[in-house]
Structure 1
Amino acid sequence: MASIKSNTAIAFFVDGLEVKTAKLSSKKGSIVLDELESLTLASRLDEGRGVEGTTLEPQQEQASEGFGMGGGELQTDLPGVDNNSVFLGVLSKYPVGKYVVSYAISEPSIYYHTFETDFGLQGKKLRKRISDELSAVRSESPSNDAIDHFYSSDNNLICLIREDGLSIIDILEEIKPYTGKRLPRIPLVDSSDIALLNLARANFGFAPEEITAIIYIGNEYTRIIFLKGSDFLHFAPVIGEGFDSTNIQNITLNRLMLELDNLALPRVDRILLAGECKKIQFDDFIKDHFAEIDIQFLSAPYLDVSQLSAEVQERVSEFAVPIATAWKALDSKHPAFYQTNLLPETIRDQQRSFKLGWHGYLLLAMVFLLTLFFTYRFGVVKNEIAREENTMRRLQLQLAEVDRLKGIIGGIDDEIGRFRIAMNVYDSLVPGYDRWTKTIETMANGVEDIRSLWFTDVGSMPDGGIEVSGYALYRARIPRISTLFDNTTLRQVIIEPIREDAPQVYKFNFTAPPPPPPMKDTTKFLPDTTTVQK
C-alpha cells in the first residue's frame, strides 16, 4: 500500500448507478465510523461521464441517501448533474488535504486466476512471473502494477488482476480545481471481494475447520465467497443479477447449493449476509432452508459506530465494501487484512514526496557520509584554528617583549656609543694609558711561545721601568724571555727548589727601561685649514 498517513479516510464503491461511500477516522487508537452515504450517478462509469457543458459547483446538491449526518432519503434526478459533481459533493464537505480517498472495484474491472504454486518467488519477480504466465492464456499481458495476490486455505496462489477500474481516478483528476488544485491522496484501490473477506476476518472468530459463506447481493450482481476457518477457500462465479431481480433469492440459494456440491462440502457452518440482503429479507428466506446454521448480517462490532443513529447502525452490512476499504486505508497493517493493492504505480509515484532510484539512494548516502566527513573536518579545523590563535597570541606577547628589550638595547647601545666617544677623547688626552696592557700581553705571548716558565711578580720602578721575576725549568730559556723587552738587564739567575720531590728550577729577575714617550699628535686639535680651489 502506498505510504500515506491520515486520520480520515473516505472510500467509494460503485455498483451500477449507485455509489456507496463511507467515512472513517482514527481517534485515540480506535477506528470510528463517522458517516455512510449512498449516491446516485448520472450515468454508468463505463458509459462516459457527465453532460456536456455542465458546470461544477463545489456545494452543488447530489441525488443521495445520507446516513450519519442526520439526512433523510433523497432520490431525485437533478438536471445538469453529472458524475463529477456527485463525487465533488462528497469531498467538498471536508477540509482539503485532511483525508485520503480509496475505492473498491469488482468484476469485470478485475478478474482472478489461481496457481498451485508461487514459483518460489516474491515481490516484483513474482508479479513478473504471473504476468508472463497470464500472457500465455490471455490476449494481453497485464502490467506488473495491475497484479496482486494472496494465498488460499490450501496454499494456492490467488491472483487478482485489474483490467479497468480507473474511472474514479479520472473523475478525481477532473475535479482537482475544486479540491485544492491537486489530486486527493489515494493510498488504496482494492477488490470488493477482498474487502468483504477483510471485514469478516477482522470482526468474526472462526474455528479452523469451519466453513463460512459470505453472500453479497448488490444492485447489479451477486457474489458468494467461501472461507475455511479464517482463510479464503473459493469464489463462486458472479451472478449477473441484483436485489431487484424477481427470482434472486432462489437463484442465490441454488448457486450456494451447487458450489457446496462442487467443493464436496457436506455442510456450511455460518452464512454472513451483506449488500442489499436486508432490503429483500434474504435472511428470513435462507433460514427456511438452513434452520440450524448461524446466519447473520456482516457487521463491524470492532468499529466505533456511536456517531451513527440506531437505524443507520442496522444498515452497516449494506456498506460493508466501502467500510472495509476505508478501514484498510487507515490501518493497512491490520493482521486480518489481505495485503492487496491495485493502485497504479504512476499514482504512487505522484504521491511520493520524491522518488529515488539506486543512483538517488547512492547520492543520498554520499550526502550523509560527506556531511559526517565535513562535520568531523570542521571540528578538526576549528581546533587547529584555536591552537594557532593561542600560538599567535603567545607570539604577539613575545613580540611585545622583544620590542621592549629592543628599546632597552637601543638605549644601552646609545650609552656605549657615548662611552666610546669619551674613551677616544680620553685616549687623545692621556698618552701611554695602555702601557701595562701591552706589557702583560707581551709577557703572555712570550710564555706561550717559550713555554716551561712562569712569572711570579711584575712591578714598576721609580724611573718608570719594570721589574719582572719568575721561574724557568730550563736555564737556556731565561735569555730568551729577557729579550721580550728592549734593553733588558738580567739581574739574577739562581737555582731554587720548589718542593722536596720536584726537580730544581731557575729563579730569574730582570728589568726593562721605560718605553720612549709617544709622539703627541697635535694635528687633530688644529683647525681645518684646507681650502678648495674654485
Structure 2
Amino acid sequence: MAKKEYIGLTYEENRLRMARLRTTKNGLELVEVDTVDLPHPITTVSDSGLGDLDFSEDYEEIFEMDDPTSSETVTGFEDLDETEESSREETDTSDLEESFDMTKTEDEADIERENEQLLADYLTQYGKRKVRIGTHIPFGRTTFQVLKNVDPGSMKKNERLEFFREKLQTTPDEEINPDQYSWVQLDDKTCLLAHYADDNSFLNLIELSETYLNKKVLIQERLPDEAIWAGLARVNYTLGTDDITGLIAIGTHSSRIIFMKGEQIVNVIPIITDGEESNDVLNTIFSKILFEIDKGDLPKITRLLLVRSAKLSEKAKRYFDQQFEDVDVDYLTLDSKHLNYTDEILDSPVYLQPYLTSIGAAWAASKIHEKEYSDLSLLPEYIREKQRVLKLEWHGIAILILIALTPLYLNYLYQAKSSQLTDLQQEIQILDNQIEELRPTATMTEDLMSEISILNAENERLLELAQYNQQWSETFRILNEGIADIPNVWLENLSTADNNSLNFNGYSMNRSQIPEFASIFTDANIQQVSQTEMRGATVYSFGMRVNNIRQDIEPFLQEMPEQSFDTEQGSEVEINFSSNELSEDMPAEEIAAPVSESQSSAMSSSSQSPEIEQTEVSEIAESEPMGSGIEPNGDDNEQTDNNPASFKEPPIINSRSQSSFGLMGPENQMLEGAYTIVLHSITDEQRAGREVEILEEEGYKATLWDVVLEDNKRWWRIGVGQFQTVSAALEAVQELPRAYRERNFIIRIREGR
C-alpha cells in the first residue's frame, strides 16, 4: 500500500508555514517543515477587535492596568457585531466565483496571480497526482460562545438551524450560512458554538493555484487554530477528567488563552491585543489567567502548555515557571508513539513551536485520530461536495439497487446449498444402508481371497518341486532299462555338469561291455578306460560323459504347465505332473518307478524325494478328508472328496471327555487332533477375535488357532465345534445356517502348522 502524504498550510499576513506528514504502519511521520514568504499579504483583515465569550468583567480595574481601552465592557454579541462590520469592510468576498471579478484593478489581479504562481510552484514538488492539504483559520478570527442549558443534538434539523441563526445574527437582514459555524456538545446542557464569518481568501488562493498544476489539489480539512491546539493536546497527552489544561498562544500582534477541562474546551479568553512585539505581553497573559482563577470558574490549573510562539518561547516558559510554582509549564510536545521524526532537529519542541499549527492541520487532514480533531470543522460544503468521489447519481442508485438485491441473492444461495446438502445426506444414508447389506458379502470375499492366496502359494511350491521331477524320472527309466541287459557293470558315481549333461564313473568285468553301456544314449563319449585289480579279479574302470540327454527323453516328456489362476476372473487350469495317468485306486508305493537292486546305490539320491512326496500325499489323504470346501494351507495339502467314508479315521484318545465334543455350548478346552468345521481363515488377529465373539454369542463352540505357512504369513482359523470323527463333523454341517453351510471345510486342529 502506497504511503500518503498530507500538507499542513497556515498563514499570517504574507508568510506561509508548511508541515509535511506521511502515513506509516504505526501512525504518522513528520517529514519536513518549511516557511514560504508570499509577495503580497493574503488578506487585509486585522487580527484585533474580535470578541469571543461573554465576559463583562473589567480585567484592568482588578489588576490596576493603565490601558484606557480596558474599561470597555466586552460581550460575545458586541464582539460578533464588530466582526461582522469588519468583514463587510473587506475588499474580498467569500465566493470562489468573485475571485474573477472584472472590476478589479490590474494591480490587484497581478498580486493574486503572483501569490497563486508562487504557491503552485511550491506545491509542485509534493505528491505524484494528488496534493492533500489541511489548513486553518488564524486564531482570533473565530468567535466562540458557550451556550448553557441547551442540547442542539436533540433538536430537529430545521429547528436547530433556526436556533443557531438567532444566536449568530447581528442584524435582522444578515444571512447565516451553515458553513460559517460549527458546534460541539460539552455535556448534557452545555454547547460550544464556533462561528467564522470572514472571507475565504486563503481557500480561494489554494484552489486557484491548482490551475498552474498538473495535479489535483484536495483540501481535506479546515479548523480554527483553537480546535487544532485542543486536538493536539488530546492526542499527545493523557488528560484526566478533572484536569485543567491551559493552552497559551503568542502571535506577532495578538495572543490567545484557551482552557480545557479534561478533553473539552470550557473557556476561550477573548483575544489579547498584545503579541511578541509587546514587552508587556507576558504580564498581560499572566493577569488574564489570574482573573479567570479569581472568578472561580476554574479550579486549580494542572498544566500550562505553550502552543505557539516564535521569539518568546523560551522566555515565556521561564516566566510562567516562576509565576506558577505548582503548575506544570512546558511546550506542547508531540508524542513519538503517534508521530515519528525523519530528522533529529524536528524533535526539538522549541524549533517546532511556530509549526505546531501546521502539523495539527496536516494531522487533522489525514483523518488519523479523526475523533479528536473534527468536532469544530469549518470546511465549506461546496468544497466537500466537489471533492467527493462518489455522488448519488445513476451509479449511486445502481449501487443501492445492488445492495437491496443482495439479501435476496444470499437467500437464494442459502436455499440452493441447503437443498444440495439435504440431497447429499440422503445419498450418504442410502450408501450406508448398501454398505451394511454388502458387509457379509465383503467378509466372505475376504475369506475367499485369503484362500486363493493360500492356493496360489501351494501351486507355486508344487510347480517348483515338480520342475525337474519328470526329466529325472525318464532319465533313470532309460538308465535302468538299458543297464538291465548288460551284466557285470555297475556304476560308482553319477554327476551332472548342467541340466543337459551327465558324467558316469563305473566298473565293468568285460571291456566290450563298456561300449554297449555307452550305446544306451544317443550322444555318449567314453573318456577313459583303465585296467585294475579288485578282489583278485581283473576289472575295467571307465569314465563316460553323456551330452544332450534331453534328446533321449524328449519324446517321453510333457510340457510343464504354468500357474494360470486369475483371482479376478476365477479361472483355473488343472495341473498334471505325471507322464502317465495313474489310477486313483493305485497304492502310493506303486507310483514310484522300479529300480533294480544293483543300481540302488547310484540312484539313492534321486529316488528319495518322490517316495517322500508320495508318502506325504498318502498320509494327508488318509488323515484329513474334507467337507464341502478346499483349503490347502502350507504343509496340510488338504483335498476334497464327496465320499469321506472311504478314508480311514484315526482313533481319538479315550481320555478326552465326551462333553468337550459337539457343535454347541462353551469350549472347555481346545482338543488338538480333533476335527472342526472351519468357517473363516484370515490374517487379521483382531478381526478373528471379533468373529469368535460373534460365534460364541450365537451359542457355538468356537475355536481359534493360528498356522504359519511357508510364505511366513500367520493365518487365523476360526472353527465351530469339536468332533471325534469326520462323519460327526459332516452331520453337524447340516445343522448350520445356510450362510455357513455354503462355505466351510473340515480340518484337524493342529496348532502352529
TM-score, reference length from structure 2: 0.42
Aligned equivalents of 2:208 and 2:156: distance in 1? 33
In the alignment, is residue 43 of structure 1 matched against residue 79 of structure 2? Answer: no
Corresponding residue for residue 300 of structure 1: 334
In the alignment, is residue 145 of structure 1 matched against residue 179 of structure 2? Answer: yes
Query: Alpha carbons of 1:123 and 1:287: their partners in 2 closer, same or farther (altered >3 Å)?
Result: farther
- Deviation readout 1:398-452 (Å, 9 max, x if unpaired): xxxxxxxxxxxxxxxxxxxxxxxxxxxxxxxxxxxxxxxxxxxxxxxxxxxxxxx
- In structure 1, runs of 5+ residues without a counterpart are 57-78, 378-534
3-state SS in 2 of match to 1:336: helix
Aligned equivalents of 1:80 and 1:165: distance in 2? 15
In the alignment, is residue 18 of structure 1 matched against residue 1 of structure 2? Answer: no
Aligned equivalents of 2:165 and 2:185: distance in 1? 19
In the alignment, is residue 230 of structure 1 matched against residue 263 of structure 2? Answer: yes
Report if the CA contact (8 A) 2:7-2:21 is conserved: yes
Q: 1:351 aligns with which of 387, 392, 409?
A: 387
Aligned equivalents of 2:171 and 2:355: distance in 1? 34
Report if the CA contact (8 A) 1:134-1:141 is conserved: no
Q: 2:209 aligns with which of 156, 175, 178?
A: 175
Corresponding residue for residue 282 of structure 1: 316
CA shift, 1:292, in A, is 2.5
Aligned equivalents of 2:344 and 2:156: distance in 1? 44
Query: Alpha carbons of 1:352 and 1:336: their partners in 2 closer, same or farther (altered >3 Å)?
Result: closer
Aligned equivalents of 2:400 and 2:26: distance in 1? 36
Report if the CA contact (8 A) 1:273-1:297 is conserved: yes
- In structure 2, runs of 5+ residues without a counterpart are 45-91, 93-98, 413-753
Aligned equivalents of 1:220 and 1:6: distance in 2? 39
Letter in 1 for 2:200: L
Report if the CA contact (8 A) 2:257-2:269 is conserved: yes
Q: How many aligned residue pairs are there? A: 349
Aligned equivalents of 1:306 and 1:181: distance in 2? 27
Corresponding residue for residue 262 of structure 1: 295
Query: Alpha carbons of 1:340 and 1:279: their partners in 2 closer, same or farther (altered >3 Å)?
Result: same
- Deviation readout 1:196-240 (Å, 9 max, x if unpaired): 000011111122222111101112321100011222210000112
Corresponding residue for residue 276 of structure 2: 243
Q: 1:221 aligns with which of 228, 248, 254?
A: 254
Aligned equivalents of 2:203 and 2:247: distance in 1? 29
Aligned equivalents of 1:40 and 1:123: distance in 2? 46
Aligned equivalents of 2:24 and 2:115: distance in 1? 32
- Within 5 Å, give how 1:54-453 maps onto structure 2: 82-107=114-139, 109-116=141-148, 117-121=150-154, 124-125=157-158, 128-134=161-167, 137-138=170-171, 140-152=174-186, 155-180=189-214, 182=216, 184-276=217-309, 279-280=312-313, 281-302=315-336, 303-310=338-345, 313-314=348-349, 315-356=351-392, 364-366=399-401
Query: Alpha carbons of 1:296 and 1:122: their partners in 2 closer, same or farther (altered >3 Å)?
Result: farther
Report if the CA contact (8 A) 1:7-1:26 is conserved: yes
Aligned equivalents of 1:317 and 1:176: distance in 2? 29
Query: Alpha carbons of 1:81 and 1:286: their partners in 2 closer, same or farther (altered >3 Å)?
Result: farther
Q: Which moved more, 1:186-195 or 1:34-43?
A: 34-43
3-state SS in 2 of match to 1:258: helix
Aligned equivalents of 1:80 and 1:45: distance in 2? 9
Aligned equivalents of 1:51 and 1:258: distance in 2? 49
3-state SS in 1 of match to 2:228: helix
Aligned equivalents of 1:118 and 1:6: distance in 2? 41
Aligned equivalents of 1:323 and 1:181: distance in 2? 22
- Deviation readout 1:158-201 (Å, 9 max, x if unpaired): 1112212521221123222322265x111111111000000011
3-state SS in 1 of match to 2:334: coil
Report if the CA contact (8 A) 1:211-1:229 is conserved: yes
Letter in 2 for 1:10: I
Query: Alpha carbons of 1:360 and 1:132: their partners in 2 closer, same or farther (altered >3 Å)?
Result: farther
Query: Alpha carbons of 1:12 and 1:120: their partners in 2 closer, same or farther (altered >3 Å)?
Result: closer
3-state SS in 2 of match to 1:141: coil
- Deviation readout 1:334-372 (Å, 9 max, x if unpaired): 443343321111111111134327x98556534766899
Aligned equivalents of 1:334 and 1:344: distance in 2? 18
Q: Looking at both structures, which has the greater relative contact order when contacts are Cα pairs under 8 Å and sequence separation is at least 6?
A: 1
Report if the CA contact (8 A) 2:129-2:215 is conserved: no
Letter in 1 for 2:143: Y
Aligned equivalents of 2:316 and 2:189: distance in 1? 33
Query: What is the identity percentage for the equivalent residue pairs of Structure 1 and Structure 2?
Result: 21
Letter in 2 for 1:106: P
3-state SS in 1 of match to 2:339: coil
Q: 1:31 aligns with which of 28, 42, 45?
A: 28
- Deviation readout 1:491-517 (Å, 9 max, x if unpaired): xxxxxxxxxxxxxxxxxxxxxxxxxxx
Letter in 1 for 2:373: F
TM-score, reference length from structure 1: 0.58
Corresponding residue for residue 387 of structure 1: none
